[in-house]
Chains A and B, each alone.
Chain A
């Protein structure tokens, strides 16, 4: 388990890596349902004030999505673009069926560190 001090440092490093200002990060966090204000985030990222674990999760997700956007913006397309198929949509639809069909859905194994997304 990551210690809480490691966590805020990693989050701030991720923020810098994704070239996000604290305000831009706050907007992303707000969009995912975060309830802290920009000062709460700033204080947490500098290790000055605590943030409850749920809010930390929302913040981590906001950072992961920003990092993914940065990563994808740097991808170089191949000369022959792959044929567009509905595989992505199918996969999402199957996941929705799982979520709605299995009653209480358990978080997937990939939530834990080292989990295989396709497991």
Chain B
């Protein structure tokens, strides 16, 4: 598989056909699953789990896989197909070194043929080999020129991955990055829409309370707002609570005077 005379783009599946009979069919299935996900189940967590599972099935001999994404606030989300993959992934952030971090930072695919001999990430390699991780392939997730994270597959045998697997990981990572970026945007849009609805509910109450104070002789809206703010401070409550209490008091008085 690592024959240097065979370019990765060579369509002849001679070398790769030994381990999985139809890698291109698996990959096509993987890519179409991801394309459909945007329309059906859209949460970031679901997308992460799917991409993790697909990475494991699309590369031959893979024992575990993990995906990490970083959103614009620097918050990390990740998924791993099993415990060793999760621990190996977590170790990178503890040690602040490792193939995924390098793939993410340099935007280049990283391949480790043997963690017991690779000298690039000495601390991580040592810890990972103790977890039974010998060969690793890690691809950056690039969405619209932005590096949003990295995905990784590992095998307990050394020299498991070759140019064909690099090619598969590049294809998979390109699709996964689009899916994950879209899921992130959608989740962010939903969060904002919920926050806006809450904000507008509060705003309604504040505006009505200002209206009540204007009817009671407040000079203008600024004056009415200052009154609400002063009351909020004296009662140690947020303005929204004061506005609601004021509206409730007005309603109670109106129904009292209607009853008498």
Binding site for B on A (CB under 8 A): 21, 23, 27-28, 30-33, 53-54, 57-58, 61, 65, 68, 88, 91-93, 95-97, 99-100, 103-108, 110-111, 117-118
Which of chain B's residues 211-260 have a Cβ closer than 8 Å to chain A?
Answer: 212-213, 216-219, 221-223, 225-227, 229-242, 245-246, 249-250, 253
Q: Is A27 a contact of B195 with CB atoms below 8 Å?
A: yes
Q: Is A92 a contact of B242 with CB atoms below 8 Å?
A: yes
Q: Is A33 a contact of B196 with CB atoms below 8 Å?
A: no
B241 partner residues in chain A, CB cutoff 8 A: 92
Determine the main DSSP class of B at the interface with A: helix
Known: A31-B206, A61-B225, A107-B230. 12 other contacts (CB 8 A): A31-B198, A33-B206, A33-B210, A65-B232, A88-B237, A92-B242, A93-B245, A93-B249, A106-B227, A107-B229, A108-B230, A111-B229
B199, B200, B217, B250 interface centre (most CB from chain A within 10 Å): B199
Q: Is A117 a contact of B249 with CB atoms below 8 Å?
A: no
Q: Is B249 a contact of A108 with CB atoms below 8 Å?
A: no
* Given A103-B217, A108-B230, also A57-B203 (CB < 8 A): no
A58 partner residues in chain B, CB cutoff 8 A: 225
Q: 4 shortest A-B CB distances, which residue pairs? A: A104-B217, A108-B230, A31-B202, A31-B199
How many residue pairs, one in A and one in B, have C-beta atoms under 8 Å apart? 107
* Given A58-B225, A99-B246, A100-B250, also A27-B234 (CB < 8 A): no
Within the assembled complex, what's the spacing in Å between the Cα atoms of A110 and B237? 14
Contact sample, A vs B, 6 pairs, CB 8 Å cutoff = A30-B199, A33-B203, A57-B225, A88-B237, A93-B245, A117-B233
**B240 vs chain A, min Cβ distance (A):** 7
**B243 vs chain A, min Cβ distance (A):** 9
List the B residue with the shortest CB-CB distance to A96: B249
B171 partner residues in chain A, CB cutoff 8 A: none
